[in-house]
Chain A
Amino acid sequence: DTGVSQDPRHKITKRGQNVTFRCDPISEHNRLYWYRQTLGQGPEFLTYFQNEAQLEKSRLLSDRFSAERPKGSFSTLEIQRTEQGDSAMYLCASSLKTGQSTDTQYFGPGTRLTVL
């Protein structure tokens, strides 16, 4: 257990439905990342926050994807009008800004999404 939690762990939904995932980072961590991982691939960066500010969102896969971190603590990732191609593992990670360009990230267990 890294201290990062994600909820739910599994989500099955029908095409066209909206889904929302939650990530609770390690409490003192100010950076939070969202990734998507499909079978046989490494994680793919989606977006990240420093405190409540979303500093990079151009990698979000489409305008159906959005993320928030309203109080700089937990974060949510929403996918609207889900498609079968959205089926994947969605990973969250948090880190403490140290001034280095690459800081150690602690990953949550992921939310596995299946779109029928």
Chain B
Amino acid sequence: KNEVEQSPQNLTAQEGEFITINCSYSVGISALHWLQQHPGGGIVSLFMLSSGKKKHGRLIATINIQEKHSSLHITASHPRDSAVYICAVPTAGGSYIPTFGRGTSLIVHP
């Protein structure tokens, strides 16, 4: 079974700061998901990536398959970025069943 570790668990930042959230996993995968969950429960898929880097607006996700590690960066953070960020990986090679990290709770103060 894939073990997923996220760090930090909680993160507080001032508006405008650069944010980095990390995700490590134990079993090689084909792709990794980053998700955003706002208070109230709604989950939105941010990225699915299998190599390199992807960028969407102020969000950048990178993955290093060899090191089994991914990072999510937020540039010029804003209070509306306050949410829980969760990474998800397949439970095992070729599995359709995802294993989720516990999430990183981000609060951005104005």
Contact = CB atoms under 8 A, between A and B. Distances in A.
Given A48-B97, A107-B43, A42 B86 contact: yes
Interface residues of A, number: 27
A110 interface: yes
A89 B41 contact: yes
A104 interface: yes
Residue from B32, B33, B90, B96 having most chain A Cβ neighbours under 10 A:
B96
A22 B101 CA distance: 26
Interface residues of B, number: 30
A59 B97 contact: yes
A101 B94 contact: yes
B102 interface: yes
A6 B4 CA distance: 28
A62 interface: no
Contacts of B89: 102
Contact of A41 (B30, B40, B42, B102): B102
A43 interface: yes
A45 B45 contact: no
B42 A109 contact: yes
Interface of B: 4, 29-33, 35, 40-45, 48, 86, 88-91, 93-103
Interface of A: 2, 31, 37, 40-45, 48, 55-56, 59, 89, 91, 93, 100-107, 109-110, 112
